[in-house]
Structure 1
Amino acid sequence: MNKKIIAATAIALALAGCKTSPTGRTQIALYSEQQMDKMGVASFEQMKQEQTIERDVSTNRYVKCIADALIAQLPAQYTQQQWEVVVFKESSANAFALPGGKIGVHTGLLKVAKNQHQLAAVMGHEVGHVIAQHANERVSQNNLLQLGLQAGNAALEMGNVQYRNAIMQGLGLGAQYGIALPFSRTHESEADVIGLDLMAKAGFKPEGAVELWQNMEKAGGERPMEFLSTHPSPQNRIAMLQSKMTQANTLAADAKRQGRNPSCR
């Protein structure tokens, strides 16, 4: 009975939360945008309290210049949002964007992203996660996954199955490597496509995305096999971006003709 209730709840939630991503992929998002915005704002405020903020005026002006150019090309519901851009004094080559209009950039990224086009590629990618509602999808997926594991555990308990703990551990590993990690790679690849489109529409050079990942590959150390990673390998990312370059260059040329020519230094 417990198993049936849990399974029925998971199915009902999944059907209720079906949406379509900007690339046309079916996704499950169980939370409202208002709920996700609230979580994003709270997380960002905590980060600002726990991490050192870079106060250098020229650095902040440079990062915000790129952010403004990208934000101007977002769908209307996001361009009308009040965005906050913060540079954190952190050595890792990273950036992130959160629901609620929050963008964070680590100073370490500025050593790998050598110019405005390369930095726009990273920031466009991170904003892509937001407009594709990947955080919502990820939280929703984890909740449904937990419901599924609970149903499996309940079934094993009802059947008095031997070695139940070992079986449940196996199910947990199977869920992580068979569902959770590949899903995350899907998010990363989708954000790459959205980010490339966004930076091109803003007038940045699309080739900067390929150059950025070439720099990342040179700067990186040992990485786990792609099968065990939440991110596609740099080689696969570069190949995918190169396959989209003709379309991206067309968008960039259109942006130039319309006067969008960022000059962020």
Structure 2
Amino acid sequence: MTVDKDLLNSFAPTGVLRASINLGNPILAGRAADGSACGVSVDLAGALAEKLGVPLELVVVDAAGKSVDVVSNGQADVGFFAIDPKRGASIAFTAPYVLIEGFYLVSSDSSIVTNADVDRPGVRVVVGKGSAYDLFLTRELQHAEIIRAPTSPTVVRTFLEQGAEVAAGVKQQLEADAAGNDSLRLLSERFMVIRQAMGVPKVRGERAAAFLAAFVEERKATGMVADALGRHGIQGATVAPLE
């Protein structure tokens, strides 16, 4: 993968690589002890900036929808997203680098036992606004009502405050939020697999999209993604197969 002036300008027109980092997904990013952003997505952003030979600037947001917005409107050059056809209107995705499971959380005394029980009249499902779960369930659920929390990390709080029937999100986030609370339980099966990918605005051109796609495959093949998951103590996510 060679980098020339035209390709560099496609990725870093301001002279730095601005990478959108979503803290709303704990598998991908979080805060270090000093308050700085850290995680798998931060590591990949740093590796891409090094590959391009430019400085890295992190554009840190707290929700997936905001991450899509800053990349789509040109405030960031690359980002880390769950692949979704709606987002694909403005963003060129790579193949996934990580696979994450989405689960439902309910009250321990709920009559909802399986995923099939969720899509019924009178059932309110709380999701993070603009998240992969929001986009997916908006298409899939025919009878249940969707309630949108401000961000994915606030889903369980919103679920409890509103007395809703179901919370939907990243399995690890739901488990952490429910830890020590015997009144909550996860359902036993995932309702979706989220394919986490990198993305670049489509207006940056096909060559930039192809370069980013090759970069992601290289990082999976060399073991960097697996190493990053291990180094950051991430469980429940798997490295996506090579394309």
Normalised by the length of structure 1, the TM-score is: 0.29
Q: Which has the larger radius of gyration?
A: 1
> Which structure is richer in relative contact order (CA contacts within 8 A, separation 6 or more)?
2
| Higher-helix-fraction structure | 1
Normalised by the length of structure 2, the TM-score is: 0.30
| Higher-strand-fraction structure | 2
